[in-house]
Structures are given as C-alpha cells and as structure tokens.
Structure 1
Amino acid sequence: MRLPASWSSIVLNKPTRSALWITLVALLSAIIAFVAVQTLAPLDNLEKKLADIRVAAMEVPKEPSDDIIVVALDEDTLAQFSYRSPIDRAFIADLIERIDSAGASAIVVDVLIDQASEESKDIQLFEVIRRSETPLYFSYTADPAFVTEDQLNYMRAFIPADKRVESRLLSDPFDSLVRRISTGGIFSDGELIYNDDYPPSFAAKIANAQGVPLLETPREISWRPVSAEGQEPFPVISANYVTYLPDELFEEKIVLIGAILSITDRHSTPLSIIDDGDRGFMPGVLIQAHAIDSLLSGTPEPKSSIGFTLLVVIAFTALGVLISQLRKGLVFNLSLSIAVLAGYWVLCIIGYGYGIGMWPILPPSLALLLSVWMMDIVIGRAERMQRQYIQSTFSRYVSPAVVDRIAEDPSAAAISGEKRDTTFLFTDVADFTTMSELLSPEDLSDVLNQYLDGACEIILRHGGTIDKFIGDAIMAIFNAPIEQPDHAAAAVQAALELDSYAEKYREECNNKGIPLGVTRIGLHAGPAVVGNFGSSQRMDFTALGDTVNTAARTEGINKYFGTRICCTQSVVDQAKDQAFRTIGHFALKGKSEYTTLYTPLPSTHNEEAEAEYQAAFSLLEQRDSSAPQRFSDLQGKYPTDPLIIYHSNRLQSGDISAWIKMGSK
C-alpha cells in the first residue's frame, strides 16, 4: 500500500495535539471564563447569587457576639413620643449618658441629626455629645442624594468632625442587595482620602478604633449566623429598657443605637433568598453590626479570592482538555462535563456548610465547557480531516469496516516494523502478457480495471488489505494493519469467492473474443515483518520476510498442477472448518524442506469424487504400486479434474511417490 512519507505522523501514531494549540485553547478558555464573570454584570450577579445561596442556606450555627450589642429604637420607643421624626433628642441624650456611665468601649448612634427639633432637647444632646467619655460616633453623610445643603450644614455644626462616620450602605446596582462594607471617604485621582465631610465608614471607623486597619477597598460582609438554639447574632435590647439594665450588660461592649422599625431603613441582604423577615430585609443598624463583626472577628469573606479562583479555573480548563482527548464527540464530552460540574456544584454548596470556604462556581464551570467546546472546534476539525484522509486513502485498500475502525482509532493501525502472524494472498492472470499484446491500450485498461475492481471488492469484503498491484497481479495481506483473529480462514474464503468471480469474468471475456487467462491464487500463513518502509519522500505499508516469498511461489506453482488455488499447511491448520484436497508434498524452488500443498474445496464439491481422490492419494503416499492404475482409472471417470490428470501423467514415469521436487517456480 503506497502512502505519503508523513503518514506515520498523520495517522499511524496515536493522535496527539500540538502543545502550542492546547496551550492556546486552554489559555483562551481560562481568560474568557475568568474575565467574563468579572466584567459581565449578568454573569457576575449569577456568581453572587450562587454565593448568596450558600450564605443563606448553608450557614453553620454560631454563638451570639460578645462584642456588639444593639439598642433598638423600636415601635414601643416611638410610641411614647408625640412625634416620630426626628427622634426625641433628649431620649437619645439620656441613652448615651446611661451607656457611657456603664463603661461601654464605643457608642455609635445610627441616626442622622440633620435638622432641628425642640431647642432644649437639641441643646441637651449637643452637650452630651461633647462631654461623653466613651468614644462616641454618629451617622453622617454628605451625599446630595440623601441630604440637602441645609441638612448638611446643620450636621456639620451639630456633630464634631472626629465623631462622624459614613452611614451609607453599599447596595449592588444589579439587584440592590447589600453585600459589601464601604470604605467611606472619597476617591480623588484614584486615591482614597478622608476629610470632615467624607469620614471613614461606620464599620471601618469602629473597627479601626479597636485596632483594625482602615479598609482600603470594600469587602464582603461575613454574615454572622444564628446560634444552634436560635439566638440572634447580636443581642438586641429595646431602648425603653436600657435604664433598668445592669452596667455589666454594656461594659466593654460596642453599643449601636438605631431604628428597628417595620418599614424604615430596611435593606435587602443575601439572606433574603430564604428569609423574608428581619434577616432577609434587615434594619440598617443590624447590617452595620454584621459589618463591624466581620472586621473585628477576622472571619474570611464569603468570596473566593482572585488567586484561588484562577487556580480552580486553570484546573477545570485542564480537565476540559483531558475530556476532549477521549475523542468521544462533543455531545459525550459536554454530557460528561455537565456531570462533573453537577458534582462540583454540590461539593461547593454543601461543602460551604462544612467549612471549605466559598469556592468559585461559575468561572470554572464556564472554563470547563469552553475548553471542551473550543477543543472540539480545533481538534475536532483536525480529527474530521484526519478521518476523511483515512477514509479516502484506506478505502481503496481495506474493507469499509477496517476503514471505520482505523478512523475511530488510528493507533489500531500504528505498525512500524512489527513482526506479526499474517496470511498472504497472491493472484496472477495466466498469459496476461500475450493478451495485452492483442488488445488496444484502451481495451486492455478497461478489461484490467474491471477485473481488479471485482477482485479487490472481494478481498476487502473479507478483511484483506491490498498491499500492491503488479500489473494484473494482486498482493493482499490479512491480519494487518488491523488485527484479524481468523485471518487464514478469511483469506481462504476470499480466494474461493475470487476464483468463482475470476472464472465467470474470464468466460465473459472469452465470449467477447478477449483471451483472458485463468486467475491463479496462492495462500500462505506465517510470521512477517509488517510496517511502513521507504524513503523520506515516499513510503510503502507492506510486509517483508520469507512468508511473503513462499506465498508468491505458492501462487506460481498452480500452473504445474492445473489448479487455480494453492495453499500451504500453515493455512490449512488455521482454517479448520474448511475442506481441502491434498495436492502433494513439494520442495519448492530454493527450499530443502518439503511443503504440503492443498487446494480448498468449494462448498459444492463432489464428495464422492473427493473420497476417491483421497483414497488414491493415500496409495501414492504409501508408494503402493497400484497407485498409477488407480489414478488412471480416476482420469477416465473424471477427465477434467486437473489434479487427477497431473498425478496420472506424472506416475507414468515410474516415480510412485507423493513427495515431489520442483525445479522452478
């Protein structure tokens, strides 16, 4: 079989992909997946939602905070005053003085003092603020979206600059959920700065007063879960009861004073996924409590770090590349990828409740699917081209079933100088040279091509591989390049069918006046070196060794016996279900050892005639003197049987033996 020199690298070796292409595909998949989730709002929001689910549903119970306590300005508090807003300043002043005297570590009032109320009460609060010994802070904002210029000027005059904290909460622009802690301050020329109107944020300032560095960038809130007994994360006390409670309750505590009302200062949080009450739609002062606790406790953010996300994305990209190497098709690869991702999603969600942290979900999922899809585009196209190449190249030499198998797994045909048991089939048309001299080139071409088409179709159908054509002769190999366990039996069946076809075609040609001769077929099985041999410009897939030579001689020896198919003992031994007639024991030209030759019998053979021949041949093997007469009698009974004619004529010389020395091919 003639192949291009590059065949071994294109087909015969197991398909491997260029390291450069794989690297490019993997790198591009990872970059697209990572950047897409970081920059595309819908994908970023989906990743946040997946994190929210874990935060809301998989939280591990935790005891209430020992550092923070919330004094609630609730409905019972407001019910005792003649007006709800602004909140009674004298009441707030009394709360501050009471908590100050109890020895709190810090007091934060989450109430905007942005307008005047009753003068005497305003003065009382003004003075309390300035004489408080406990670090005292008030919510403050200069954002024109929340306060007018008059309100801002009032706050500037009322709240000392060192007691101001930015009260604004960071809500996500996509879904309005509060997830992050603000830094406060203002960015100018890309740098975060603080001033009297833009102080640090509520949580950042309080945590900083406890020794925590100020935030440089917003961070995720680590929501403190309820306890195993169902206790809220932070003790919440109605402001009405503060006067009656012992100092120990407030001592060394950060006390937050703020409104906890049914419809005022409520904000959606990630916990709203499963909670439609105070935790899902949380009062601002409680969000500030969670924010302060996040900074003081050092609890990791419910968010995957960029470095870890990149690492997981790279790992899943590599997994996608590995899956694509299974070469099972895009549908299978995507199905397997989805199954892997389903398991990974379950691990991420359930594992969060067991403390594995907030692993990224969407970026690695996209990376895996993208890498599988892109590898299919790059490699799948190459494989389809390779498949087409294999089919177009091999279809002329091997059967369609073999072509499909090689196309599915080219490594199955990866033979390079391999020693293998094979069966060889050689054919030759008798007197072809004489016929070719009588026909025009066009007629000769038509006759030969039609003959070879039919012959090759039979060989291929039985699993043989067309090695080469030598004029009208065919050399075919069975059991290479694809393994064929019954190669000898298949070769015999191919030979019988080919003989029937060739005789019918010869008769058709002879009836047209074309002197096409008989087709002689030789079969021999044995070890041979099979592989790709040739130069850098041109290669042959062929076989080398004595088995090949013996098969060729076996074909040629037919002309001495008048037979059309001749095969050796090695073929007979492997084709156990086939009936054979023994031709004789011959020493072929160049061989010192005798070889028993046979001809296979078609299924329609005359069993009576075969039994008589076998009995006569047994006499010949015994050197029985009656053998010549027995063959002579058989010739009279079966005058067209070529083997009977051969032995009958040979025995006339007096050499009564089944062992014959051949003088030529």
Structure 2
Amino acid sequence: MKRTRIFLAIALLASLFSLGLYRSQFAFIEQVDLRLRDARFRVRGAVAPGPEVAVVAVDNKSVKEVGRWPWSREVTARLIENLSAYGAKVIALDMVFSEPQGEVPDRTLARAVASSPNLVMGYFFRNEMQQIDPLALEQLSNAKVKFLKLEEGVTSVPLTEFASLDANLPSVAGGAREFGFFNQIPDYDGLFRKAPLLLLYDGDIYPSLGLLGLSRYLDKPVLVDVAPFGVRSVAVGDLPLSVNEQGRLALNYYGGTASFPTISAVDVIEKKVPAQALKGKLVFVGVTETGIYDMRATPFDPALPGVEIHATVAANALDHRFLIRDGRTLGLEMGCMFLLPLLLALLLNTTPRTMVGLAYFSLLSGGYLVLNYLLFKHASLDLSFIYPLSPVIFTYVGAEAYRNLVIEKRGRYLKKAFGSYVSPDLVDKIVKNPDLLKLGGEKREVSILFSDIRGFTTLSESLSPEELVRLLNDYLSPMTRIVMEEKGTLDKFIGDAVMAIYNAPLDVPDHAGHACRSAVKMLERLELLNQEFAKRGVPQISIGIGISTGEAVVGNMGADIRFDYTAIGDTVNLSARLEGLTKFYGVQVLVSEATKAHAGDGFRFRKVDLVRVKGKHEPVAVYQLLTGELKFQAQFEASLALYRAGEFASACEGFAAIAATGDKVSELYLSRCREFAAVPPPEGWDGVYVAQTK
C-alpha cells in the first residue's frame, strides 16, 4: 500500500506539472505538438471534398496562352462573365484591383462586376499606413459583419487588428455586393493551420473571403456572438462554424495542391469547359502559377496556393468536416492527463520488472496515439499529443527512478541480507513486498530444526584440516539446500550443527510439516553422502535432529556493528535439547508434541518418552519421526503403557522382545524396567525422565 500511494502521488504530481505546461503554452512545446498533429494528415492521406466547391486557377497554362500576370482587365471581365454564364452560383475573387489600368479596361471590368449578382471581391488588410480612397472605405463599410451580438461585459474584441488595407478601386468595384479579406495568419512555425474568419479594422469586424463566399452560397447572413473572453460563436444562418476565441477556423485539409476540382482560367475564358462543370458551384478564382502566387506552407503541402485555403474553409463548412478543438477536446485532453498516468501508476505497481513496466508504458502511450488518430480520422477531433502523453512519460520516469533508487536498492539489500540463508522464492516475496518483513523483532509461532553430527570431535581428530573442511562443506551444502527447498531460513552454522527456522521471516503455512520433511530429506541425502565418503576412504557420519514448534522471538539481533536474523526462546532451546536427546535414545530424529500435532498427514511418529529437559520444569512428550516401517509399534506402545502403570516385569518381557531386533529405545526401556523391578521408583513416580545434560 505504501508503494501504491507513492506511485499514485508520482502520477498526480506528473499530471499537475503537465497541467502547468498546458496552461503556460510554451512556444517550443506548442510547435512540437503542432508538428505531431500535422503528421495525422499525412497518415490519413488525401480525401475528396464535396462537389459544391471548385477552383478556377490562373495557372501555368493560362499564363502561357493569355500572357503574363496581371492580365488586361478586359480579360478578367470576360473570365467573370463566362463564369456567370456557366452557372456558377457564387464567384469569389482571391485578388484585388487597387491600381488603375486605364479608363477602358477599368470600365469593362466594372460592368462585369456590376452584372454579377453573386460576386464576392477580395481585399487585403495591412499594417503599413497608407492613403485610402474615401469611396473605397465607404464601399468597404457595407462588408462589415452586420449581425453582431456583444454580450454584457465586452469591452474589447480579441481579434487581430490591422491599421490599413489595400482596397479595390471604387471605379472598378462600385457595383460589387460583397467584399471579403483574403489575409492568412500563420502559426509559430510558419505553417497555416487555421484560417481567420474575422479581423478587426477601425473598431469594426470584417468577414473573410471564404466566409462571405459561403454566406452568399447558402444565402444566409453571417452571425457573430462575442463574449468577454473572445468570440463565442460564428455561424452562417443555422450552420455553426467551429472557431476559437480569436475567430479562427482550424482547417481540416483535404490534401495538397489541386485537392479541389481545378479548372484553368484560360479554358473558362475560351469557353472550353464542359457545360455542367461549374453550374451551381461556389467558385474561388485565384493565381496558382509558380512565382506569382502566394505560397502557403500547410501540413500537407509546403507550397499550397492561397486560394485553396479559402476553398477549404467553405468546403469544411459544407461537408461538416470541421477540425474540432473546443470544450470537448479540452475535456478529453484533461481527462487523459489525469487518468492515463494514474492507470500507468497502478500497472507499474503490479510489477517489479523494468521490462514489464516499459511494456505497460509503451502499450498505454501507443494506445493513446492510436485513439488520438482514430478520433481525428473519424470524428475530426483535434486532440493534443504532447500534453496528455507528458504526464504518462513523467509518471514512468518518476516511478522507474523510485523503483531503481529506492525499491530495487532495498531489494538488493534484502537479497544480500537474506539470500544466503532464505530460499529463493521467499527472497522474491520479501523483495516484492518488504512490508511483510518485520526486521525489528516479533513474536510468532515457528518450527525450529537443530541437526548435529554425532561424534564430531573424534571425527575431527582422525582427519587432516583440509579433509575435515572438505567433509563439512560436502555435508553442509546439501543440508542447506534442503532447508531452503522446504522454505526454511538457515539461521546459522554452529560448527558442524545446523539451525533452521520455519515460518520466519515470512509466513510459511504448514511450517511443522516443512521442518519434518527437511529432516527426512536430510537423512536420505546423508545415506548418499556416506556412500561417497566410503569410496573416498573418509569415515561415515551420522546425525541427530531435533524439531520443536511453538512461539519464539525472531528478528535482527546482535550488536550495532554486527547482527544476524535469528530466533530466541523456549522453542529454540527445546529443539536443541531434543537434538541432544537423540543420542540418548538412539534415534535420528526427535520432535516435540506440538510439532507432531502440527505436522499434518504424511508422517508417522512413535511416542518415545515424557522428558523434563534441562531448564524446564514442565515435562514434554517427545516423539520419534519414523523414516521407515516400524513393525512392532503396537507392541511397543503396549509395553510403554505397562511401564507407566508400574508393571515393570510385564513391560520387561515386551521390551526384551523388541530390543532383540536392535531397537535402541526398547533397549533403554528394558534397562529401566530391570532397574525399577529391582529397586522400585519412589511413591508418586510420574514416569517422567529428567534429562541431566543439554
């Protein structure tokens, strides 16, 4: 739970930090994010716009056949007249006629303009101050937004404002009904991703060429709602446009150059266009010839003709293909900024492995990238890449730093501290959940195993130091592995003796059974070792094992400069006493009554005696853990019952029969029975044997 809380705290801090970046909108981060979002267009590829919009281009073919641009205004007039004759519903000119060309050419163009009821002329705002014809300003005043709603509290409109403009000659444009600006405003990096639909001039709001062309095409007015924070909405009649607070429309580009049906201007002038090619369409007229047109770098095309940006504005509206970046996208981004890092933190908390954590991070990040693209492709939602992913990155880096600097450092310490005397699976549990470990000391039920080599002093005297060390290593190594295999903790080596703890430092269910199985495996392994010793000419060895179960205090104990994980208490002392009694009773394994009770099925025991061990007043029942079949067990139990009842002569007969088979315990009882038969025990004798040695 502690690690979970830390990981969740890292995720929350990562989200809050990313939120700060999100609100600050640093230019560099914004540029990187915009470039990543641009890539979606190239992955998606070009798509076809609707049939309502077309482009008539003053292209290379037109310049070659008609002559260099600008053309004579008689030619331009013929172009406008022929477009009307072809049935174009609206003609929008992405050009301005600000300089006189001559009385006759200007008058000819003026007649064509006046005779075209759905012609939208273009003009250009600029910041450089220049003299403007009052008649041109008067014409332009009719082009400003007429249906404008200013909400309470609006003191200024946050639109880009210009100081001057290039207007059409009043003598040419006097008969025009509509005027729309064709300015474009790039992003930080020079790419054109948004089209300004509204600009501010001399305190009034003016619509763009694309917006006015759309208005004339739908025959509905432009409606603008301005709130204190900026533009709330822009609509053409009942068709709302997706704009930001600066009145700009995010362009959902269809492709590169010539994404729209494009017709050469010279073909219109010479009437070589199919009759139905332009009928009922919104036609944008502009220059596309290399070297004389306004190049616009876009996510799709580094040199898109500016006229196609106006066409894109109108087509996006007519196709309802707005690139949406509003409250919905902001809500999704904010949700991802908090939910994704929290989810990653929970996933990272479930695994201790760096590679698995990296896989989770990659899966979550990749999932968001795919989701972002699918929402863009199918729902036109313009979600950020950087800001929702940044807290995921920060969470992963923070969590991995914490894992490596704290958790894995602690894990390495724990492995070093316990790896030499705890089984590998227990070490893994300790490392994964160190909170389970109480190193300061605790009282808990354990099983303690003591084993010792019989006659080790005599054995050591018969071997050289090198042979003795080799023999000990050959013996202790497999015995240690057996302890660890059975989930025991190797407490210590005491010369030739082994002490092991079961059920500490971590819980080990059936710890008494594990201790008993360790004893059985030790005896089996000892038989194989003795065979090897015999081949090497080394004396064979025998061992005694004592096991007791009960409460003990376990933990790190010792001095401040040297301590070990160990156990202390009566249970530990009893197991040591039981190991010592194995020599007295002539058996290999003795266990306490509590061990027998907790060992479970699968083991066979013989009750050996009631013993009052040194240091304890209360007697304990001790049992022999049987590793083979005991044919005379029923007879032994009957003889033992007679012995405790004081019928020593009868017990003597039974023990004598069993002792003849070589049973050392029966030999001991036979000797006792004969002694008590000769000299009866004192009155009140309880049948308890008092051990005089440890």
TM-score (norm 1): 0.63
Q: In structure 1, what is the equivalent of residue 35 of structure 2?
A: 45
Residues 182-221 of structure 1 aligned to structure 2 (within 5 Å): 182=196, 219-221=248-250
Aligned with 2:688 (options 648, 652, 660): 660
Q: Does 1:597 align with 2:622?
A: yes
User: What CA distance in whole angstroms lies between the structure 1 residues aligned with 2:33 and 2:614?
Assistant: 81
Q: Does 1:259 align with 2:279?
A: no
Q: Does 1:577 align with 2:567?
A: no
Residues 34-73 of structure 1 aligned to structure 2 (within 5 Å): 38-39=28-29, 44-50=34-40
Give the gaps of 5 or more residues in structure 2. Answer: 83-90, 129-164, 216-221, 232-244, 255-267, 270-281
Q: Does 1:615 align with 2:599?
A: no
Residue 615 (structure 1) shift: 0.6
Q: In structure 2, what is the equivalent of residue 119 of structure 1?
A: 103
Q: Does 1:651 align with 2:673?
A: yes
Residue 493 (structure 1) shift: 2.6
Residue 628 (structure 1) shift: 0.6
Q: In structure 1, what is the equivalent of residue 417 of structure 2?
A: 393
Report the secondary structure of 1:631's partner residue: helix
Q: 1:365 to 1:632 in 2, by over 3 A?
A: same
Residues 445-594 of structure 1 aligned to structure 2 (within 5 Å): 451-499=475-523, 519-532=543-556, 540-573=564-597, 574-589=599-614, 591=616, 593-594=618-619
User: What CA distance in whole angstroms lies between the structure 2 residues aligned with 1:38 and 1:474?
Assistant: 67
The worse-fitting range, judged by mean Cα deviation, of 109-118 and 23-32 is: 23-32
User: What CA distance in whole angstroms lies between the structure 2 residues aligned with 1:589 and 1:506?
Assistant: 36
Report the secondary structure of 1:483's partner residue: coil
Residue 398 (structure 1) shift: 1.7
Q: 1:140 to 1:359 in 2, by over 3 A?
A: closer
What amino acid does structure 2 have at the position aligned with 1:615? Q
Residues 86-105 of structure 1 aligned to structure 2 (within 5 Å): 86=72, 88=74
What amino acid does structure 1 have at the position aligned with 2:123? S
Residue 522 (structure 1) shift: 0.6
Deviations 1:370-423 (A, max 9, x none): 643664365246555444444333232022333344344445545765554432
What amino acid does structure 2 have at the position aligned with 1:221? A
Residue 142 (structure 1) shift: 6.8
What amino acid does structure 2 have at the position aligned with 1:584? D
Higher relative contact order (CA 8 A, sep 6+): 1
**Cα pair 2:124 2:166 within 8 Å, conserved:** no
Residue 566 (structure 1) shift: 0.7
Residues 108-507 of structure 1 aligned to structure 2 (within 5 Å): 110-113=94-97, 116-117=100-101, 119-123=103-107, 138-140=122-124, 167-170=182-185, 178-182=192-196, 219-221=248-250, 258-259=284-285, 283=308, 285-287=310-312, 301=325, 312-313=336-337, 315-341=339-365, 344=368, 348=372, 358-365=382-389, 367-369=391-393, 371-372=395-396, 375-376=399-400, 379-380=403-404, 383-411=407-435, 413=437, 417=441, 420-430=444-454, 451-499=475-523
Q: 1:19 to 1:343 in 2, by over 3 A?
A: closer
Deviations 1:292-337 (A, max 9, x none): 99xxxx9974699889857744653444344322225344334434
User: What CA distance in whole angstroms lies between the structure 2 residues aligned with 1:116 and 1:110?
Assistant: 18
The worse-fitting range, judged by mean Cα deviation, of 482-491 and 116-125 is: 116-125
Deviations 1:230-275 (A, max 9, x none): xxxxxxxx99xxxxxxxxxxxxxxxx995289999899999989xx
The worse-fitting range, judged by mean Cα deviation, of 572-581 and 426-435 is: 426-435
Report the secondary structure of 1:557's partner residue: helix
The worse-fitting range, judged by mean Cα deviation, of 479-488 and 314-323 is: 314-323
User: What CA distance in whole angstroms lies between the structure 1 residues aligned with 2:525 and 2:253?
Assistant: 88
* Identity value in percent: 23
Residue 498 (structure 1) shift: 2.8
Report the secondary structure of 1:652's partner residue: helix
User: What CA distance in whole angstroms lies between the structure 2 residues aligned with 1:74 and 1:25?
Assistant: 51
User: What CA distance in whole angstroms lies between the structure 2 residues aligned with 1:71 and 1:449?
Assistant: 92
**Cα pair 1:55 1:270 within 8 Å, conserved:** no
Give the gaps of 5 or more residues in structure 1. Answer: 1-11, 96-106, 145-151, 186-192, 226-237, 240-255, 274-278
**Cα pair 1:424 1:524 within 8 Å, conserved:** yes
Q: 1:93 to 1:644 in 2, by over 3 A?
A: closer
**Cα pair 1:110 1:258 within 8 Å, conserved:** yes
**Cα pair 1:93 1:128 within 8 Å, conserved:** yes
Report the secondary structure of 1:654's partner residue: helix
Q: In structure 1, what is the equivalent of residue 139 of structure 2?
A: none
Q: 1:502 to 1:328 in 2, by over 3 A?
A: closer
What amino acid does structure 1 have at the position aligned with 2:655? F
Residue 465 (structure 1) shift: 0.7
Q: Does 1:632 align with 2:656?
A: yes
The worse-fitting range, judged by mean Cα deviation, of 83-92 and 566-575 is: 83-92
The worse-fitting range, judged by mean Cα deviation, of 581-590 and 84-93 is: 84-93
User: What CA distance in whole angstroms lies between the structure 2 residues aligned with 1:466 and 1:585?
Assistant: 29
Residue 33 (structure 1) shift: 11
**Cα pair 2:106 2:171 within 8 Å, conserved:** no
User: What CA distance in whole angstroms lies between the structure 1 residues aligned with 2:57 and 2:638?
Assistant: 120
What amino acid does structure 2 have at the position aligned with 1:169? Q
Q: In structure 2, what is the equivalent of residue 250 of structure 1?
A: none
Q: 1:443 to 1:262 in 2, by over 3 A?
A: closer
User: What CA distance in whole angstroms lies between the structure 2 residues aligned with 1:364 and 1:491?
Assistant: 55
Q: 1:305 to 1:396 in 2, by over 3 A?
A: same
**Cα pair 1:582 1:596 within 8 Å, conserved:** yes
Deviations 1:581-632 (A, max 9, x none): 33123344455654332222224xxx4xx32354133122134532212322
What amino acid does structure 1 have at the position aligned with 2:504? A
User: What CA distance in whole angstroms lies between the structure 2 residues aligned with 1:57 and 1:452?
Assistant: 77
**Cα pair 1:221 1:290 within 8 Å, conserved:** no
User: What CA distance in whole angstroms lies between the structure 1 residues aligned with 2:208 and 2:521?
Assistant: 93
What amino acid does structure 2 have at the position aligned with 1:601? L
Q: 1:257 to 1:319 in 2, by over 3 A?
A: same
**Cα pair 1:421 1:525 within 8 Å, conserved:** yes
User: What CA distance in whole angstroms lies between the structure 2 residues aligned with 1:533 and 1:19?
Assistant: 35
Report the secondary structure of 1:379's partner residue: helix
User: What CA distance in whole angstroms lies between the structure 2 residues aligned with 1:600 and 1:431?
Assistant: 22
What amino acid does structure 1 have at the position aligned with 2:285? A
**Cα pair 2:38 2:299 within 8 Å, conserved:** no
Q: 1:156 to 1:646 in 2, by over 3 A?
A: farther
The worse-fitting range, judged by mean Cα deviation, of 348-357 and 321-330 is: 348-357
The worse-fitting range, judged by mean Cα deviation, of 50-59 and 425-434 is: 50-59
What amino acid does structure 2 have at the position aligned with 1:660? V
User: What CA distance in whole angstroms lies between the structure 1 residues aligned with 2:26 and 2:45?
Assistant: 23
**Cα pair 2:98 2:167 within 8 Å, conserved:** yes
Report the secondary structure of 1:626's partner residue: helix
Q: 1:58 to 1:473 in 2, by over 3 A?
A: farther
Q: 1:645 to 1:537 in 2, by over 3 A?
A: same
**Cα pair 1:260 1:285 within 8 Å, conserved:** no
User: What CA distance in whole angstroms lies between the structure 2 residues aligned with 1:536 and 1:119?
Assistant: 108
Q: 1:586 to 1:165 in 2, by over 3 A?
A: same
